Amino acid sequence: LVFANTYSPLSSEELIAKEKANMDENRFNHCVRVSETARKLAELNDYDPEKAALAGFVHDYAKQVPVETYIEVIKSQNFDQDLLNWNRAIWHGIVGSYFIKKDLGITDPEILQAVYRHTTADVEMTTLDKIVFMADFIEPGRDFEGVEEAREITYANLDDGVGYQLAHTLEFLIEKRNKIYPRTLEAYNVWSIKK
């Protein structure tokens, strides 16, 4: 596990220790695999691999933060109060970026934005946003119907991967009759419709 720590005042060891302390072992191992996958996608897409590896490593830093803590932060830190109608699945990216800044000292806006967008995607996405979004979906530990196709598509063309993931996620949410976060739907309309 290696990445540039030029984006955090912490040493790599401290950063890894903090991340480990904030989640269980399965989640930690997922973050390591996302980091490695993000590095590969960066190399294929002319992006800084060290920066992508760090963003991938921290992307789920706040995944296991307690609900009460999330609610406090949403109320006190000027977040859209509509977030209170959602849950940790949506919070850990959007509000997770706040914890990454506060606890890990990462202030780089590109990294914070990639974390912010990693669950819902967005209408406009930077290369780093797409890399983290896709690495999360295709890391080697993922096992769902279509994951091999998702990997092939994403390694061939990052934007096509984004479209594939959004269609897949929407299908999955509709199948379960879950609520669709409006930004996820807006992103689907941009990235996934057949042209």
Q: Which stretch binds ligand GDP (CB under 6 A): 18-26, 124-132, 153-161, 173-181?
A: 173-181
Among 7, 136, 138, 163, binds ligand GDP (CB under 6 A): 136
- In the bound state with ligand GDP, the residue whose beta carbon lies nearer, of 180 and 190, is 180
Among 181, 187, 188, 192, binds ligand GDP (CB under 6 A): 181
Residue 84 sits in the site that holds ligand GDP (CB under 6 A): no
Q: At what angle do helices 96-104 and 12-21 cross, to 10 degrees?
A: 130
The answer to the question of residue 77 lying near ligand GDP (CB under 6 A) is no
Question: Of 1-9, 35-43, 50-58, 113-121, which part binds ligand GDP (CB under 6 A)?
Answer: 113-121
Among 106, 184, 187, 192, binds ligand GDP (CB under 6 A): 184
Q: 173 to each of 42, 177, 179, how far by Cα in Å?
A: 29, 6, 7
22 binds ligand GDP (CB under 6 A): no
Residue 179 makes contact with ligand GDP by CB under 6 A: yes
Nearer to ligand GDP among residue 51 and residue 118 (C-beta): 118
123 binds ligand GDP (CB under 6 A): no
Q: Would you tell me which residues interact with ligand GDP (CB under 6 A)?
A: 60, 63, 89, 93, 118-120, 136, 169, 172-173, 178-181, 184
